[in-house]
Structure 1
């Protein structure tokens, strides 16, 4: 029998000293549970992913100093094996680093394994820094069991679709009793179920039990949800750790089965996890909380327009940081409706958030007069509309600079896609919470928050009002955009395509096929394609967006600005 501790921890990129402290605390708990083996996530010593920090002078020296601390700590628990992920220096041709797994015991490295499959797609770019490991299986005998090792992507190619090498085949030939896979698998909608499917299939095909240990936490755009799990060949997923939370759990492994520390079968694991809206909520809250904490912010500021986007952003920020740490600023112009200002007040009262008012009427008047005096013509049309957004963006940045608040942007994926946003105005800020939510999903998540709270957190008046930037008299979003249910189906297919969940892809494909059968539909599709392409330069300058879906703007969608798209 083996006792194995899965240490699912929230590491900070580059904080080797802090990460070592977390790992030692988890190892102490493992030893208190009389565990034989404690398993940490991929690149646990540095956290995933250090990117070009790996090339900074002194970074690898600090990695190696952290490793020495872990080796020293392992001498204090001489019978415990530690599975640790870290970058290591190579002395072979090619890239000078490897993405490695070390097993430590009693002050020694007793096994080394280098990741063979280095993802270079979507948000991943490991081949930029690492050299692939050798096509070999690494197995270590612990007590009376053979334990095989994998690192993340090495376990995702059992279907042989993406790489010529399948590390699972080597492990099968080595005939371990158990496979330990260390991972840094970022979360998006449907990712948990995809992990379960891939590793359950591999476990059954090769008759190998698998313990999958994942990282958690928010790192810039990416959020890692944890949800580490154990798989048995016949039973499938039999254990799952907490999701969106740290979790250090010790399991027993005997006769091919995972059991609790008490020797019982673990609680049944539901096939489906969180609902879509519950997932979005937890992903955004953890993403903001960790982004703010790691960047040194404890408070946030948001421009409150009285519209649905800023309302949802305020509600999520209050949940992540606490209402007392969130400030809303309403900035009415001569085009702002009284209802919008009143709705902002009701919203902030519901949330317990301070609302400040800074009108922009005089500011805009001064700018327009100055423009006409300097250039001989009045400021009007889009230029005047954008001026209002930029005046608001400037006020918000003044507040951020003066009081130390993190400014959160409020753009959604639909508007960002087609450039329905103003550079240096409503794109100002340090992080976008809802930039990977289509507008229809913004409405759905707002309703979900109200349902979960059992009250009107976000006033129904805000949810029900026709969307408007209120930058011109009587302006509505649908004056220049198709209705959002139409636009969103188009955008899903054009931006995410085959990366959509199967039902979403089928629905969007059928919808667009129907549009394509009509001349006005074909014209609309061409127009939206053009808007997406023309506004790439705006997205390139926008703040990072918390990733919720399989293809988000940012590192997961790399498009040229100066290009011909038809």
Structure 2
């Protein structure tokens, strides 16, 4: 059986850094050449970074992307390259456009693109022998969740080609094209492809890598050939791309795999199936002949599988590191309360950017317990970060008097609670201004869902590391992080004490919210699964509890809209995955009897001031 030496270039690209991304590709291409690869594949939209969003509306950006493709193509020699880029249909032939753009000035490149009808395609180019020899246009455009590809791209409709590279019949496809039976991948395999390269920018969510493998096995069996799946890695705003590139044979065997959450190049000799096409025919383009026979190299050892906690923690670390580094931040500052959320965020940040670049502020008030102060200090010592103690009581007293004067009477208790949180937010943001450090917020998904936070207080900052992590998972992640060290970095007392914001005497979270082991499953059904209140009640939860949680979720949208970006780890995070209006009087009354709450149906808007928990009183 013949073999094709294939390299998968799992790269961490930067959206908009077209020249930098091209340099990354060229470096990886040179390494693939040294490894004797016949072809190297790179992720979806490698040159632009993914997702480029409305950068695609800029002619100069499109022109620079074509110029970069020209430079990459010109560098190919014995090793072909499959490269993701944005094709501009309606210009001259791509080969001419790429070659011309590579040698033209910026203004000339932009003018050429601006003057053409702009029909954009999410594309993969096959480059070999110093030129672009073939292009594939993505046919199935995702337009759900975090994906908006129909906003910018048109689907490919042109006849598909196969390419003989290194003596092997090769097909190309892009991401979503893999996920549906009977689609482009199946068509190419049945037309005689011995290997289909599928380039991807597939974001991480819990368990997603198992979904991918199941689809790859199904499609490889259907197509009757091997599939090479190359994925992007790295953080881009709220998205984390976990890599996990792999090659799956027609029989479902994983021939080779790259690790998750790290750049990698995997080089493997892929066995080419014998036999003739089983259905259909595609035009075939000869690119390069087979090299002289050489013994197949052993497959690289597979990466160790990760537990769910290891996956999520890796995603948080990578997403935090890339957000800070790609946006020019070297250091971060965090408020350390001695609670479990800030402890987890501090551990993630220290692992992401180094303890020497993380700075903690302990800002105790009259309500802060001695235990929490000790826990904050112990955590900082265990992580090796500097901790500065800044009591807020002087500001709390002075601002409390100012607020009482402004409202004409002593302010209610919730106002005083929020005032403490806002004082801490002001101090953190002032430190950020003075030192150039980004503020990391510490709110979790359970709090974000229910509005259990203070606007311009604990929600104020530049990046929300655990905004998509439910509280119950926070505990699991803390125990996982402790398991990585000889001694626990997060004090056991933090894991054992009752959660509390410590904004009033003897406060506990469960005085304002249901216990988290009850709240989180209800939120999963209401938010992630979009189930009705009645459906959730039928699964065994009290109607009063479910209705209250649903009301909290509905009325907290205005807070979520103002929260910082943060790492997405679930299939439905707040933000692009779930887009709800702020001004919205719809309430799910499916669990009520027909004679139920008439007031809600009267058109009277619900009061945000009346919500339970720790919401700010802002209307």
TM-score, structure 2 normalization:
0.84
Shift of 1:374: 2.7
| Counterpart check, 1:136 vs 2:159 | yes
Aligned pair in 2 of structure 1 residues 131, 302: CA closer, same or farther (>3 Å)?
A: same
1:239-297 deviations in Å (ceiling 9; x for gaps): 1112211111222123339xxx9725535758x93111111111111111111110001
Helix, strand or coil for the counterpart of 1:336? coil
Distance in 2, matches of 1:455 and 1:95, equals 59
Measured in 1, the distance between the counterparts of 2:186 and 2:309 equals: 38
Whole-angstrom distance in 1 between the partners of 2:42 and 2:400? 59
Residues in 1 aligned to 2:406 and 2:135: alpha-carbon distance in whole angstroms: 69
Contact 1:12–1:19, Cα closer than 8 Å, also in 2: yes
Task: Give the match's secondary structure for 2:561.
Answer: helix
The superposition leaves residues 193-250 of structure 1 with CA deviations (integer Å, 9 ceiling, x where unpaired) of: 1000001011112212111111111111111111110111214322111221111122
Choose from 52, 58, 62 the match for 2:54. Answer: 52
- Which consecutive unaligned segments of at least 5 residues does structure 2 have? 92-115, 275-293, 589-619
SS of 2:153 mapped into structure 1: coil
Structure 1 residues 546, 403: closer, same or farther in 2, change over 3 A? same
Q: CA deviation at 1:370?
A: 1.2
Number of the residue aligned with 2:583 = 562
Distance in 2, matches of 1:373 and 1:442, equals 41
- What does residue 9 of structure 2 align with? 7
Of 150, 156, 163, which aligns to 2:173?
A: 150
Deviations 1:480-525 (A, max 9, x none): 11111000110111111289xxxxxxxx999853534xxxx10110
Change in 2 beyond 3 A, CA 1:417/1:253: same
Correspondence 1:39 to 2:61: no
Q: Does the CA-based 8 Å contact 2:269-2:299 persist in structure 1?
A: no
| Equivalent in the alignment of 1:246 | 263
2:296 to 237, 240, 263: 263
In 2, Cα distance between the equivalents of 1:524 and 1:465?
Answer: 24
- The answer to whether the 8 Å contact 1:232/1:256 transfers is no
Shift of the alpha carbon at 1:420? 0.3
| Partner Cα separation in structure 2 for residue 154 and residue 444 of structure 1 | 36
Aligned match of 1:191: 208
What is the CA deviation profile of residues 445-471 of structure 1, one whole-angstrom value per residue up to 9, with x for unaligned ones? Answer: 111111221312100111111100011
Instruction: Tell me whether 1:470 sits opposite 2:470 in the alignment.
Output: no
Of residues 203, 207, 218, the one that matches 2:220 is 203
Q: Is the 8 A contact 2:189 2:196 kept in 1?
A: no
| Runs of 4+ residues over 4 Å off in structure 1 | 92-95, 267-270, 508-512
In 1, Cα distance between equivalents of 2:308 and 2:266: 27
CA distance in 2 between counterparts of 1:128 and 1:253 reads 37
Distance of 1:510 and 1:541 partners within structure 2: 30
Q: Name 2:89's counterpart in structure 1.
A: 90
What is the rounded CA distance, in whole Å, between the counterparts of 1:425 and 1:107 in structure 2? 56
Question: Over the residues paired in the alignment, what is the CA RMSD in angstroms?
Answer: 2.1
Count of matched residue positions in the alignment of Structure 1 and Structure 2: 541
Structure 1 gaps, min length 5 = 161-165, 500-507
Aligned to 2:573: 552
**Alpha carbons of 1:65 and 1:246: their partners in 2 closer, same or farther (altered >3 Å)?**
same
Match of 2:124 in 1: 101
Does structure 1 conserve the Cα–Cα contact (< 8 Å) formed by 2:256 and 2:266?
Answer: no
Q: Does 1:515 align with 2:540?
A: yes
Paired position in structure 2 for 1:529: 550
The match for 2:290 is: none
Larger Rg: 2
Report the Cα distance in structure 2 between the residues aligned to 1:421 and 1:220, rounded to whole angstroms.
22
Deviation larger for 287-296 or 140-149: 140-149
